[in-house]
Structure 1
Amino acid sequence: MRRRHAMPFGAEVTDRGVRFALWAPSAEKVALVVDGAEHEMPHVGEGWRRLLLPKAKSGSRYGFRIDGGETIVPDPASRFQPDDVSGLSEVVDPRDYEWRDRGWAGRPWEEAVVYEAHVGTATPEGTYAALAGKLEGLRDLGITAIELLPLADFAGARNWGYDGVLPFAPDGVYGRPEDLKQFIDRAHALGIMVLIDVVYNHFGPAGNYLHQYAEQFFTERHQTPWGAGLNFDGADGKPVRDFFVHNALYWIEEFNVDGLRFDAVHAILDDSDRNILAELAERVRAAAPGRHIHLVLENEKNQARWLERDEAGTPRLHTAQWNDDVHHCWHVLLTGESEAYFQDFSDKPVERLVRCLVEGFGYQGDPSAHAGGKPRGEPSGHLPPSAFVAFLQNHDQIGNRAFGERLSALADPDRLALARAGLLLSPQIPMLFMGEEWSASAPYQFFVDFAPDEDLSGAVREGRRREFQHFAAFSDPGASEAIPDPTAEETFTRSTLDWEEASREPHASVLADTRRLLALRREHVIPLTRTRFRGAEGSMPNPRAIEVTWRFDGGTLRFVANFGTEAMELRGGYPGRVIWASPGLDATGLGPLLPAWAGFFMTGDAG
């Protein structure tokens, strides 16, 4: 089987040659340079330039000369950049790759156990091929979906991926496009879904040439943390909307991925009648009938409107949202930290955790102290647990710490074990960050590579230090000097996983615990979540304890936990079957006391 997404821009291989198209509304003259030969590109209206070259072919190298300038810029819709973001683009015919996953239609979202991975640091080799070699072990662990940090081509040899500038070109440092397709093929053969993280709110600071020929791609009407916003809602914004809609369709159709995670959609500013988030979801779902396609948001605004279900319980637009609120509750309980956004959860973390487990968002229009008292969020209690992706760690929550410490370096291991069970046995969709399954010792630190641009590299170093000046630990200017240099190669190397340590203690015991919990999830929790959600309720037997019950057509799931320093008395009987209990508890006869930092999960009849 061969797959291709046809685009109105970029380089498209046809039976008559290669058709090149570029939207360059602010350029007076555009020349196409292919394999060393230069061709004038005719203007065909509304800022578009198109040219068909019969002799161009798959593998041809090309770029655009704008207004006779010396620089030849890459194609913004390039499918591959062999020589990084400022090099020539390569014509790729996606039909050259023969797919082996015929018949794969994905998996229901309720079965998802997500594993977030950065290709460059997930293995010492840092390639798609090397990560593919880990997939069978992840399948055996209980992982059913792998989410890759952004792949869009970025400047340099290392980056988290959020500085991408060519969203159609998987970065060459990890391999060629066909290597990524082989990775996806292998994942599907093992029953693992693949999701790609995409960034539609800004471009990175190096290698973005759009301003030279398409000033209208941006607008001063909207300002973002990265400068002028993308022009999704201007009179001349349709090509901008189409660019990102086609990018989403490209990943779904040409790479056969099972879903997308949309980065920081709160920074996508659009005042049009049809918000770009709605158009993206509608177009993707219409293009993939019969497939399980999962669209996941990161959204600080907690806008439940994007997660609504129809009468059958099917997502109308987006499937789920990363639930930062539940992470913050667990983090405060485990570490006692209260600075930055943790201040919104440090006042009553147990109460807020109950709300997150029962209703999804912890903030549903409530005033946020971190935001200066402004309300945050929308009511979400009517949504099923599958509308929320829960996690104890992710790339942001680790990497945006000054030293990139994992939670296992900050929290008591026995208390972390209770939180791990609370994550992996909750009916919300659990996500693990690579290496979390064995409490990897490697940190995950912020790293970039903007060499040889020392001005930009220096600005990144200084910006990183300023970022933490409001934290008490870095109030002394000298303390910030200890923060790892994000532009140094050793910062990247330090963040690379050592898979061999997973077989050694204490990591091996954590890995065994993760495997056991995911087996319990597969046996007891997923059969419930496949049935209709009927609601949830929660209570606090005392100020440091929770009792949460989720009800489904297939039965009930209950979580009881004591986060206090003293044992608590269990109230009354608990009908049902204990499927997990903290070490040392007698699962066949709970009570009368629940020790400090202990808990259990039970299943019961629907009632």
Structure 2
Amino acid sequence: MKWQTDKRTLGVNVTASEGTLVTVWAPLQEDVVIVLEDGTVRKLNRDKKGYWKTTLNESLVGHKYKFRINGEDTFPDPCSLYQPDGVHGYSEITDLNEHQWQDTNWRNFPQEDYILYELHVGTFTPEGTFDAVIGKLDYLSDLGVNAIEVMPIAQFPGDRNWGYDGVFPYAVQHSYGGPKAFQRLVDACHQKGIAVVLDVVYNHLGPEGNYLETYAPYFTDKYHTPWGKAVNVDDAYSDEVRRYIVENMLLWFRDFHVDALRLDAVHALKDLGAKHILQSMREHTDLLSSHTGRNYYLIGECDLNDVRYINEAKIGGYGLHGQWIDEFHHALRVSVGEKRQGYYSDFEPIAHLAKSYVDAYVYDGLYSPHRKKTFGNKASAAEGRQFVVFSQNHDQVGNRMLGERSSVLYSFGLQKVMATAVLAAPYLPMLFMGEEYGETQPFQYFVSHTDAQLAEAVRKGRKEEFKDFHGEQEAPDPMDASTFYRSKLNWNLLAGEHHYGMWRLYKTLIALRKQHAAWHTLDRTRVETVVLGPQQSLILNRWDENESLFFFFNFGKQQQCIPVNNDYPMHKVLDTESPLFMGTREESYYKDGITLSPESAAIYRISL
């Protein structure tokens, strides 16, 4: 089933030619009217699919409204574009066509060129707004980042939240500045040569302010997820729920000029229908692209190691353009000393990192002791651009009890090794805000629910989750504002020489990645690894017709001499222990092999 791609058809939409169009889906309700904040009531008419509609001839931009159901209570619009008074307040009629876009000449980058930078709007700057992010774009551009990945901005309860508790998928968070400010940010990014990736959540909604079931069967008991009932994409009434998701996706691309969407936990979208919802989303993305002439990408978070999610529909896939690989992160973390407990227990230091460099998935049909079953399938035919890798992200940092970053968990040398390992990969690299200068502030879990019972449940749940890890410390209170403020970046750290040295390493690595064709061309057929277990070292080799690049990693605390057999002279490209990067030990050198300082990495080049 295909839906309109050129304009919004759900919610309250302002048009130049037809007036203000009102559409709300409530197929099981007997009567629905729109009520303006001043008390004005307008009748809606029901169509055969359960959509209640009317046309308001006068201009009502800026007016607030709710819908009254069956002559009783009033509720915000499920397709609200703006909730200036929060999740329980009135929706505001908003004209997204008012923004005068300045990005006419913008063209999205080829996916394989993305250098991603994940950020949380509320903690990225002291102000915590979209406009404040604009003030940091020159910094990001200087670093070499060309794509920011913005954590969810759909309206959530209160002012503080990671964004995964959003309950109005169409509304832009009021405390960040609302929809007009987000349009300004995207426009500014494009003028600076930076793409925008937005994190969206279609697999569940948060608990507070979730009024969808008041209107219609948006959820189903047919399946259950960690968040409760599943979003209804294949049960009775699912056609219109699928439309709700697809139109939301198109909203971000078309009306906010977003370049890519990161889809949260796509494995939790339970769909056994003939056409998976993700495939339908890809089809509508391609259709919109054919209309606008712009490329858009869908990148999934998936916990299944199943290439079906990223394969094209013609070979039985769902068609996502790419996915995150948590397994690369896990393998890298145990290589630098993370304790092998929980899901880390499945990963072998260095050997599994080498496997991920070559095979993407570590568990690709192998038996997983942690899961106690054979897991995953092979991604041999997938391209490097289809995978996103990282050493930190919001989940892997924030879901630790204290939200510690790598900067307080590992040595300065190992932090530089991790940076090199991520940026050396034949995949899309992603940084988590602040890691490029060794941010030491934690990134902790925070919420600002206004429902007292729910707030207490979240507190208790967080403490229970980490009851075996407390020791002398308690899990931070997610409701305490200090948890949020403690998670803000400390930009003053950049003035410190070690932090600036770390920043300089990231900037240099990104520049070199763009400069060397054998590096930035994500050809998975030209990748080899050598694991030197006793030496706690790894060699990654990537090449093309003109050059061969060798990435040497020493994860151990002892100097290592790594034998290299070749008939060509090797030229040093980079050493993480260089004084430029605040190195403190002797740099690597080549003489019948590569001598590496403890906890360091070096890159050498051979001309072919």
Q: What is the TM-score with the length of structure 2 in the denominator?
A: 0.92
Shift of 1:198: 0.3
Partner of 1:455: 453
Shift of 1:567: 3.7
Partner of 2:583: none
Moved more, 22-31 or 53-62: 53-62
Partner of 2:265: 264
1:509 aligned residue (492, 496, 501): 501
Structure 2 distance, partners of 1:61, 1:165, is 18
Partner of 2:581: none
Moved more, 257-266 or 358-367: 358-367
Deviations 1:286-342 (A, max 9, x none): 21134232221111112222223799xxx9822221111111112122233122211
Note if 1:579 corresponds to 2:582.
no
Shift of 1:566: 3.6
Number of residues of Structure 1 aligned to a counterpart in Structure 2: 587
Structure 1 distance, partners of 2:36, 2:462, is 40
Q: 1:226–1:572: structure 2 CA closer, same or farther, 3 Å change rule?
A: closer
2:304 maps to a residue whose letter is: K
Moved more, 270-279 or 550-559: 550-559
Structure 1 distance, partners of 2:531, 2:524, is 22
Note if 1:367 corresponds to 2:355.
no
In 1, are the aligned partners of 2:385 and 2:522 still within 8 Å (CA)?
Answer: no
Moved more, 572-581 or 98-107: 572-581
Partner of 1:403: 402
Partner of 2:71: 68
Partner of 1:437: 436
2:401 maps to a residue whose letter is: A
Q: 1:30–1:559: structure 2 CA closer, same or farther, 3 Å change rule?
A: same
Q: 1:274–1:556: structure 2 CA closer, same or farther, 3 Å change rule?
A: farther
Note if 1:488 corresponds to 2:480.
yes
1:442 maps to a residue whose letter is: Q
In 1, are the aligned partners of 2:513 and 2:519 still within 8 Å (CA)?
Answer: no
Shift of 1:604: 4.2
Shift of 1:56: 4.4
In 1, are the aligned partners of 2:541 and 2:551 still within 8 Å (CA)?
Answer: yes
In 1, are the aligned partners of 2:364 and 2:375 still within 8 Å (CA)?
Answer: yes
Deviations 1:548-586 (A, max 9, x none): 223446654332223234444422335454322342334
In 2, are the aligned partners of 1:6 and 1:12 still within 8 Å (CA)?
Answer: no
Aligned CA RMSD, in angstroms, stands at 2.2
1:295 aligned residue (292, 295, 298): 298
SS in 2 for 1:455: helix
Structure 2 distance, partners of 1:245, 1:171, is 20
Q: How does 1:256-335 map to 2 (within 5 A)?
A: 256-289=257-290, 290-308=293-311, 317-335=319-337
Partner of 1:28: 30
Structure 1 distance, partners of 2:47, 2:297, is 37
Structure 2 distance, partners of 1:507, 1:598, is 17
Structure 2 distance, partners of 1:598, 1:587, is 12
Structure 2 distance, partners of 1:550, 1:235, is 51
Partner of 1:47: 50
Moved more, 281-290 or 563-572: 563-572
1:322 maps to a residue whose letter is: W
Shift of 1:458: 0.3
Where in structure 2 are there 5+ consecutive unaligned residues? 578-585
1:109 maps to a residue whose letter is: Q
In 1, are the aligned partners of 2:559 and 2:595 still within 8 Å (CA)?
Answer: yes
Structure 2 distance, partners of 1:339, 1:377, is 21
Structure 1 distance, partners of 2:452, 2:592, is 63
Where in structure 1 are there 5+ consecutive unaligned residues? none
Structure 1 distance, partners of 2:313, 2:144, is 30
Structure 2 distance, partners of 1:588, 1:596, is 16
Q: What is the TM-score with the length of structure 1 in the denominator?
A: 0.92
Structure 2 distance, partners of 1:24, 1:266, is 28
SS in 2 for 1:22: strand
In 1, are the aligned partners of 2:404 and 2:442 still within 8 Å (CA)?
Answer: yes
Structure 1 distance, partners of 2:368, 2:424, is 29
Partner of 1:227: 228
Deviations 1:459-487 (A, max 9, x none): 00001111123x4x33x7xx57x111001
SS in 1 for 2:287: helix
